[in-house]
C-alpha cells in the first residue's frame, strides 16, 4: 500500500487523521486478529486518553454522515474491511462493537424527521 494512498500517515492535521490512523493500527487485516481486541478495550475504558477521545469524536462524526475533507475510499483503505458493502455499514458496526451501551449517532437531518 503506497503512502500517498495513506495520506493520514503523512499529515496529522488532515480531517479524520486520528480515526484513520487508529483504525489502520487496530483493524486492518494485517493486524486485526492480534489488535482489534485491544482497540475494544481502549474504547471501553475511561482512561483511553486524548487520542481515543479524538477517535471517538471523529467516529461519531463519520457515523452521523459528516465526511467533509475525507478523501474517497480512505476508510476502506485504512481499515481494509471486506465484510461490508459500504462505509456506513462498517462505521455503524464499528460503533456498536466499541460503544455498545451508546446509541449510534445520527445526523441532524435524521433527528428532525
pLDDT digits (tens, 9 = 90+) for 70-113: 998 899 999 998 888 999 999 999 999 999 999 999 875 454 44
Max intra-chain CA distance, the chain: 42
Q: Please check whether residue 5 is in contact with residue 17, taking contact to mean a CB–CB distance below 8 angstroms.
A: no
- Is residue 84 included in any domain, yes or no? yes
- Look up residue 109 and give its three cell numbers: 437531518
- CA–CA dist 36, 27 (Å, integer): 6
Q: Name the 3-class secondary structure at 11.
A: coil
The domain of 78 spans 14-112
Residue 8 lies in a domain: no
Query: Which DSSP state fits 101?
Result: T
- The reported pLDDT for the residue numbered 112 is 45
Please state, in angstroms and rounded to a whole number, the distance separating the CA atoms of residues 21 and 59: 12
More confident residue, 10 or 56: 56
- Residue 5 domain-assigned (yes or no): no
How many structural domains comprise the chain? 1
21 found inside a domain = yes
Grid cell for residue 69: 475533507
Amino acid at each position: 500500500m503506497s503512502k500517498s494512498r495513506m495520506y493520514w500517515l503523512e499529515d496529522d492535521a488532515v480531517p479524520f487523521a486520528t480515526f484513520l490512523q487508529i483504525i489502520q493500527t487496530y483493524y486492518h487485516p494485517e493486524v486485526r486478529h492480534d489488535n482489534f481486541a485491544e482497540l475494544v478495550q481502549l474504547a471501553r475504558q475511561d482512561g483511553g486518553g486524548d487520542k481515543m477521545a479524538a477517535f471517538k469524536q471523529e467516529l461519531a462524526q463519520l457515523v452521523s454522515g459528516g465526511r467533509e475533507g475525507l478523501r474517497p475510499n480512505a476508510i476502506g483503505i485504512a481499515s481494509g474491511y471486506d465484510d461490508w458493502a459500504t462505509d456506513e455499514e462498517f462505521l455503524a458496526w464499528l460503533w456498536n462493537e466499541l460503544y455498545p451501551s451508546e446509541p449510534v449517532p445520527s445526523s441532524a437531518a435524521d433527528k428532525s424527521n
